[in-house]
Structure 1
C-alpha cells in the first residue's frame, strides 16, 4: 500500500489528491482539469480568464467533481506568490504546468524581442515560478508529482515558430534537471510532449500556412498530419488521458513522453 499525500491509497494515485492545473480555462488545460476531477482529484484550476475558469468549474461540478478556481498569471512572480498564498490551505500533491502561448508565426529575423520574451515568460518562466511556489511543500512531505507540458515541436523542425520550439525544448531540459534535484526527496517530475492537437491553435496554423504557401486549408492540414503514423491529430481528451496515465506510473521520473499519433519527433 502506497502513501500518497497523506491518506493511503492501494492503487489509485489521483483520487483524493489535490491537483493544481495551469491554463485550465480552455483547450488542454480544460480537458486535463475535467479528467482529473472525474477521477476523484480536487482540482485547483488556474488561468488568467476567470469567466472561462468558472465555465470549466461548472462542467466539473456537473459530474460531481471537486474544484476551485483562481485567476493568476503564471508569468508574473507576484501573481504566482498570491496564488500560492490563496491556496495555502490545500495539500497540493499534483502540479500540471500546462499554461502556454503559441507565439508569433514568422521568420526569426522578423520576430521582435518582446514577442520572443512573451513566449518564454509563459512557457518557461511560468513553469519555474509555479515549481518554485509549490515544490517545497512536496519535498517536505516526501511525495508529489509534477507534469510539465512540452511539445514534440521542441524536438523537430517547425519552420517560422522558433520562439515556441525553443521554449518547449527548454521545458524538456528544465524537467530533466529538476527531476534529479527533487527525485531523491520522493517527488517525480516528468514531461508530456503532445503532437498537434485538434483545436483553435492548429486551425490558426493551417490557415497561416495555407496563406504562406498559396495552398488550401485542407492541403496545409494534410501535409502536416501525413507525417503521423495514425494520419491524424490528437484530441484534447487523449492528452488528458495521458496525464492521468502518467500519474499512475509511480516509477516514472525525468521522463519525456511523446504523444503524437506516431509523428516522427527525432
Structure 2
C-alpha cells in the first residue's frame, strides 16, 4: 500500500506488450511517471534495448512474440520472480488494407494471432498469480475500429472487436478475485501507422495525401487524431479508477460518440 505522498503505482511492476515503440512506449512513459517498474516486450531486441536506455533504469526489456505460446511461456518463466500486477496488452498489427475478398487466409490469421491470441496467451500466463494475490489490473488496447465502418480493414476491425468481447467476459471471471480487466479503444493515433494508411488511401483514390488525411480526420468532433501520449495518459487514468471493471473506454477525439 502506497502513502499519499508516493506515486500511485509505486512498488508495482507493470508488463507492457509491444512496449518498444509507438503506443507501448507512450504507455510505458506514463506508468513510469506514476512510479511503476515496467517490463516491456516485443519482437525486436535492439528496439527494446534502445527504448529501455532512453526511458531509464526502471525499464526491463524482454523479447517475446505474444502470438507464440512458447515465447509467452518462456517470458512467464523469466519473470517468475517478478510480481506483475499490471498487464497492458498493447501489441498489435495493422494487417492488410484491401477488400475482404482480396485478403488471403494467412493474412487474416496473422492479424488474429497477434491481436487476439496474443491477449489470450498473456492473460492465461499472468492472470493466475494476480488472482492468487487477490489484486491486479489488466488493460487491453482495442480500437474504435469496428464500432463504425472502416472499409478495407476487416481483419483489424474484427480482431479489435474480439478484444472487447474478451475483456468484458474476462472481467466477470476474475473480478470476484480482485482483478480488474478493462479495454481502451483509441481512435486514429497520429504516427507512422496512420501515415501509411493515408498514403495507401491516396494511391487508391487518386487524391493527395493531405486530402486523404482531411477526409479521415474531419469525421472527428475535434477535427484531429489523438496522440500517443494521450493514449498513455488514458491508461494511467484508468488504473487510478479503482471501480472500473469490464469497461471499454473510447479515446477518439470524438470520432466515435456513444
C-alpha distance in 1 between matches for 2:257 and 2:107: 26
C-alpha distance in 2 between matches for 1:14 and 1:211: 46
What corresponds to 1:49 in structure 2?
44
1:71-90 counterparts in 2 under 5 A?
71-90=63-82
Shift of residue 15, structure 1, vs aligned partner: 2.1
Helix, strand or coil at the partner of 2:88: strand
C-alpha distance in 1 between matches for 2:130 and 2:7: 19
Count matched residues: 257
With normalisation by structure 1, the TM-score equals 0.94
C-alpha distance in 1 between matches for 2:189 and 2:35: 25
Helix, strand or coil at the partner of 1:154: coil
What corresponds to 1:211 in structure 2?
203
What corresponds to 1:173 in structure 2?
165
With normalisation by structure 2, the TM-score equals 0.97
C-alpha distance in 2 between matches for 1:79 and 1:101: 17
C-alpha distance in 2 between matches for 1:9 and 1:173: 36
Q: Indicate conservation of the 8 Å contact 2:8/2:35, yes or no.
A: no
Helix, strand or coil at the partner of 2:23: helix
2:26 aligned residue (7, 28, 31): 31
Gaps of 5+ in 1: 1-6
Gaps of 5+ in 2: none
1:158 aligned residue (123, 147, 150): 150
Taking a change above 3 Å as real, the CA distance of residues 103 and 255 of structure 1, as seen in their structure-2 partners, is same
Give every structure 1 segment of 4 or more consecutive aligned residues whose post-TM-superposition deviation is greater than 4 Å.
Answer: 8-12
Between 92-101 and 34-43, report the one with greater CA deviation.
34-43
1:111-260 counterparts in 2 under 5 A?
111-260=103-252
